[in-house]
Amino acid sequence: MKIWTTSLTKLCFLLVLIVGFTTGLATVQAEETRVFDQAQLLSAENKQQLEAQILELKKDMQMDVVVVTTNNAEGKTSAAYADDYYDKNKFGTGPEKSGILLLLDMDNREAFITTSGEMINLLNDARIERLLDAVFKELPNQNYYGATTAFLNQTKNYYQKDLEAKAKAAEKAKPKEVKPLVGKFTGGKTIASLLSALLLAGFFCLGVIGKYKMKSTTSSYNFRNNGQTYLTFQQDNLMKDKTTSRRIPKKDPPNRTNNSGGGGTTTTRTSSSGKTHGGSGRSMGSSSTPTSTRTSSSGTKHGGGGRGF
């Protein structure tokens, strides 16, 4: 009886360990996942390759990188969906939640990039447009993996450029090293140097004295007769005063901040959770090509076309 009880206890303990380990592993995997292919645009192999590339990029930049595809934007714009997805899933590193997210929104037919924290400073408006250029070199061919890879490579490129610019700025800010004079001063050299300095100072003083020395004169000026002043009186009377005022309304400009990302500006917006985001998007165009139709003599609609020969 004791042996059976001991075996049962060990078995239960082993089951608890297995369940705990499995749950913990699943949680870690969920936390490390950064490719969310909800629209099923990527193969399993492509997702694994992207996850590895993102992991390496995150380690280099110390900022988060996320890729999302969707067929259902939940009635939101691409910007709102991307911002909310980033905020609600608590992506980002550090207190500012720094990172970037690429959304391939097949519902709104738009590719959108949202940035947060330090990534807003790294990627200004001009750089975001170049990122979208890289993405759209592949999107028209429905090469979603190629578009995502181009996005990651271009992001890494801008990060490295920013590091190089900061290194050059730090090098310029360093005080220049003053090299000691080579050689020794002998007694003769010292006396010669002092005499040269005294001669130069003497020439300079004589030149200043000669320049400011007043020349003697025998002429006189009768200031009593020539120094009289005559004053006249004139009065202006105000007849009528009219002032017209008009208030000029001011339009609220978009939020723009200067940053170090290429020396340009970044347009920012506030998400539904109150967080600040940068970035923008670009339309993929219509998902289908319009078809011309016509009605036959029997009233039936037909499509198609022809060409002369």
**pLDDT band of 290, cuts 50, 70, 90:** very low
Does pLDDT of 303 surpass 60? Answer: no
Does pLDDT of 249 surpass 80? Answer: no
Question: What is the average pLDDT across 94-120?
Answer: 97
User: First-to-last CA distance in the chain?
Assistant: 97
Domains of the chain with bracketed CATH: 34-171+260-283 (3.10.310.50)
Choose the most confident range, by mean pLDDT, from 65-74, 212-221, 225-234.
Answer: 65-74
| Long-range own/partner contacts, residues 217-226 (CB < 8 A, 24 or more apart) | none
Query: What distance in Å separates the CA atoms of residue 97 and residue 89, rounded to the nearest whole number?
Result: 11
Asked whether 121 and 266 are in contact (CB, 8 A), the reply is yes
174 versus 64: the higher-pLDDT residue is: 64
Q: pLDDT averaged over the chain?
A: 80
Does pLDDT of 220 surpass 70? Answer: no
Burial class (CB in 10 A: 0-12, 13-18, 19+), 27: exposed
Query: What distance in Å separates the CA atoms of residue 113 and residue 111, rounded to the nearest whole number?
Result: 7
Alpha-helical runs (H) found in the chain: 2-32, 44-61, 78-88, 118-122, 125-136, 144-173, 187-212, 223-226
301 versus 143: the higher-pLDDT residue is: 143
Q: Please tell me the least confidently modeled range out of 32-36, 190-194, 224-228.
A: 224-228
- From residue 186, give the alpha-carbon distance in Å to each of 139, 183, 189, 192, 193: 78, 10, 5, 10, 11
**pLDDT band of 269, cuts 50, 70, 90:** very high
pLDDT at 233: 73
13 versus 140: the higher-pLDDT residue is: 140
Query: What distance in Å separates the CA atoms of residue 293 and residue 59, rounded to the nearest whole number?
Result: 56
pLDDT at 212: 73
Nearest to 275, CA basis, from 153, 95, 110: 95
Question: What is the average pLDDT across 145-150?
Answer: 98
Query: What distance in Å separates the CA atoms of residue 240 and residue 238, rounded to the nearest whole number?
Result: 6
DSSP of 174-231: SPPPPPPPPS---HHHHHHHHHHHHHHHHHHHHHHHHHHPPPP------HHHH-----
Question: What is the average pLDDT across 12-28?
Answer: 45
Q: Please tell me the least confidently modeled range out of 94-108, 152-166, 194-208.
A: 194-208
- Mode of pairing for the β-strands spanning 35-37 and 110-116: unpaired
